Structure 1
């Protein structure tokens, strides 16, 4: 994750101008972020192992209207990494991996201060797909399979950053994604928190 974050930072500095004026016009923007995801799920007692952290990435496209507080709309895609679990019960080992990802549609706002610094907020609709791979191993054999569930949830987030030019900025964002989906056999209901370094380019 650190390697990707430093690459984004290097890209931002390479494209930065000698001065950093705040954004002063309406703009189409594209942003890309990478960072850390943490699945907030209940722990289970016993011989149970759970890895709730992974690498998250997001890509957004939107439009901002300039004002005292910039306001805009955004759409995008987010991959929230994997949740890994395993449970030992006697001679039986159960393992599962869950990967949540989905499409975003929402609103975003940005407030500039001290010339080039800004704080931001966002929120909206998340259509998530949770892919589950599982495996059960016993002394006499093993069984594996996969399934997927889709459903509608939501996301919210805040951030802060710096405009290196009227076109390019770099920020740090915290977002919470509420993943909710179900079928007759499988359900998913969890909050996934992410910290991401995000580079944004405005046209």
Structure 2
């Protein structure tokens, strides 16, 4: 694993530990409403030159909200493995990201709610280019951002179902390496389940 990726994971772990201890202290003073875990499953649309629209999207997030409205989150997103081929050359890229950011949830009518979130991501791209009998592989780690919105329904005080749109701004490759660096927007459409503690 690249050194910068290790540093990012360590920083994320320290952030989670800090948030957890702060949240526990806030909870004792009745200032913190809840922790949550959320999972998403859907499809991703890679807005690239080959415009791949059929990848699987999976996401899991952990976080908390101050007074049940605004808080912090950390997560992991699998954005899919887009593939393009012209019959001679095939390009594929397994795309993942670790995320850390802020989130908000607002109950606007009876059990209905809207959500929003966004923040920093660290993407891990495993790309492979195959042409004829030869191939080039490259792994790269890059910084980026993500943001999204959703709407849903609270089934109980602890469980919610929702539908969501998210955009992940990632980069492929490394400048000057075998595969040139390229900025890519990945749009995702998903259903979600959230459980609040």
TM-score range, shorter chain: 0.7 to 0.9
Distance in 2 (alpha carbons) for counterparts of 1:72 and 1:82? 31
Aligned to 1:194: 188
Aligned to 1:161: 152
Instruction: Identify the range of structure 1 (160-169 vs 177-186) with the bigger mean alpha-carbon deviation.
Output: 177-186
Which of the two has greater helix per residue?
A: 2
Structure 1: which 5+ runs fail to align?
Answer: 1-24, 44-49
- Structure of greater relative contact order (alpha carbons < 8 Å, 6+ residues apart): 1
Aligned to 1:56: 57
For residues 86-125 of structure 1, the aligned pairs below 5 Å read: 86-88=85-87, 93-125=88-120
Structure 2: which 5+ runs fail to align?
Answer: 1-31
Which of the two has greater strand per residue?
A: 1
In the alignment, structure 1 residue 176 sits paired with structure 2 residue 183: no
How big is each residue's C-alpha offset from its partner over 1:62-106, in whole Å with a ceiling of 9 and x where there is no partner?
001126xx0011000000001111135xxxx11110121110000
Distance in 2 (alpha carbons) for counterparts of 1:180 and 1:37? 16
Distance in 2 (alpha carbons) for counterparts of 1:52 and 1:145? 24
Please report the TM-score for the alignment, with normalisation by the length of structure 2: 0.78
Please report the TM-score for the alignment, with normalisation by the length of structure 1: 0.76
How big is each residue's C-alpha offset from its partner over 1:49-74, in whole Å with a ceiling of 9 and x where there is no partner?
x644211000000001126xx00110
State the aligned residue count.
Answer: 163
How big is each residue's C-alpha offset from its partner over 1:98-139, in whole Å with a ceiling of 9 and x where there is no partner?
1211100000111102221100111100100111122111xx
Aligned to 1:13: none
How big is each residue's C-alpha offset from its partner over 1:2-56, in whole Å with a ceiling of 9 and x where there is no partner?
xxxxxxxxxxxxxxxxxxxxxxx7101001110010000125xxxxxx6442110
1:181: how far off? Answer: 4.8
Runs of 4+, deviation exceeding 4 Å: none
1:182: how far off? Answer: 4.1
